[in-house]
Amino acid sequence: MNRIAVRTMVLTAALALAAPAAARAQMPAADIVKRSLDAFYAEGKDMQTRVSMSLMNAQGGERKRELTLLRKNMAAGGEQRYFMYFHAPPDVRGTTFLVWKYPGKDDDRWIYIPAIKLVRRIAASDKRSSFVGSDFTYEDVSGRDVSDETHTLLRQENLGDRPCYVIESHPVGNADYAKRTSWIDRERWVPLKEEYADARGRMTRVFTADKVEQIGGHWTVARRTMKNLTAGQHTVVLFQNVVYDQSLTDNLFTERTLREPPASVR
């Protein structure tokens, strides 16, 4: 094989690799973010997982939260339902939590407190408050709308061995951050890293997807970490026993299930 032939082959291969990337590069930043939000928060028709959260404070103390999470995407664009059953810690065991999430308006949220058999509606306008005391916010758990932020594609680069889009996003309304920089996997579409910065440009929180697995044909972040740099603490979250597309029924996401959680989640 002569040198020219080799050179042609290399060039052809390079072009073949580069062409789709070039085509993707023209994808508007908002579309990339939309696709990433769908991949991260809305894969499959529905999903069930056992979530283990480990909250590590600055003093090295650890708190654990164990819950079963069900999620269903409703037919209407972007509407979702979440159901959570807490296994631990002991004083919240049996507590259930239901979220009806709507694009463009506040969620409906209900909590059931088993000790007094009470279902209570809770205010949901503060999406940036902490989820069960962790470094993740409600919004980090159930997602945001693409229109909640403006997006700019900064560049493409590898993060480790994964090719990524690097996107800068700024919240449209009031938020506890001024800028979010995300590294979105160009092929799997899940975010691999997110850096949150305040108005002075100081980094406040860093999200990393530590383990990404393909489960039932869906790329899934099986282990994630949120570092809170301001407080010097972090939270590690594991998604275990992930199952997609079980055809979860609407009945699982009702007040009845809050009071009578099915055996499959307990």
Partner 1 sequence: MRFLIAAAAIAAAALAPAVASAAVDLGGFAQANYAIDVADPPCVDGGPCDVLLADQRVQLKAEGASEKGSSGYAAKVDLFYDSVAKRSDVEVREVFVDLTGAHASLRAGRQVVTWGVGDLLFTNDIFPKDWVAFFTGRPLEYLKIGSDAVKVDLHPKAFDAEIVLMPVFQADRYPTADKLHLPDPFPGLPRITEDKDASIENGEAALRLSRYVSDWGLSLYASRTFYRSPAMTLDSPTTPTAVLQFFPRLNTYGASATGSLLGGVASLEGALWDSGEDQSGSRYAVDNSTVKALAGYSYPLWKDATLGVQGYVEWMLDYSAYRATAPAGYPVKDEKRWTATTRITQLLRNQTVTGNLFAFWGLTEEDGLVIPSLRYAATDNVSVEVGANLFYGKANYTQFGALNEDDNVYTTLRYAF
Task: Give 266's contacts (C-beta < 8 A, 6+ positions apart).
Answer: 68, 85
Cβ neighbours of residue 131 closer than 8 Å, sequence gap 6 or more: 137, 138, 140, 141
Output 40 or 136, the one with its CB closest to partner 1: 136
The reply to whether 51 sits near partner 1 by the rule CB under 8 A is no
Asked if residue 238 lies in contact with residue 52, where contact means CB atoms within 8 angstroms, the answer is yes
Min CB(153)–partner 1 separation in Å? 32
How many residues bind partner 1 (CB under 8 A)? The answer is 38
Which positions ≥6 away from 97 have C-beta within 8 Å?
82, 83, 84, 86, 109, 110, 111, 112, 258
- Cα 161 to chain centroid distance, Å, stands at 21
Kindly tell me which residue out of 158, 230, 240, 264 binds partner 1, with binding defined by CB under 8 A. 264
Binding segment for partner 1 (CB under 8 A), chosen from 36-44, 178-186, 205-213, 258-266, is 258-266
Site for partner 1 in 166-185 (CB under 8 A): 176
Task: Please report how close the Cβ of residue 71 comes to partner 1 at its closest, in angstroms.
Answer: 19
Q: Which of 140, 130, 142, 125 is nearest to 69 (CA)?
A: 142
Residue ranges with strand state E in the chain: 46-56, 62-73, 80-88, 96-102, 105-113, 118-122, 149-159, 162-171, 179-185, 191-197, 203-215, 218-228, 233-244
Determine contact, residues 185/163, Cβ cutoff 8 Å: yes
Q: Using the rule CB under 8 A, give the single segment among 43-51, 55-63, 76-84, 188-196 that binds partner 1.
A: 55-63
213 or 260: whose CB is closer to partner 1? Answer: 260
Closer by beta carbon to partner 1, 158 or else 241: 241
Segment near partner 1 (CB under 8 A); pick from 22-30, 54-62, 75-83, 238-246: 54-62
Count CA atoms within 13 Å of residue 195 on its CB side. 9
The minimum distance between CB 34 and partner 1, in angstroms, equals 25
Site for partner 1 in 104-143 (CB under 8 A): 106, 108, 115-118, 121-126, 128-130, 132-134
- Interface residues toward partner 1, by CB under 8 A: 55, 57, 61, 63-64, 88-91, 93, 100, 106, 108, 115-118, 121-126, 128-130, 132-134, 176, 233, 255-256, 260, 262-264, 266
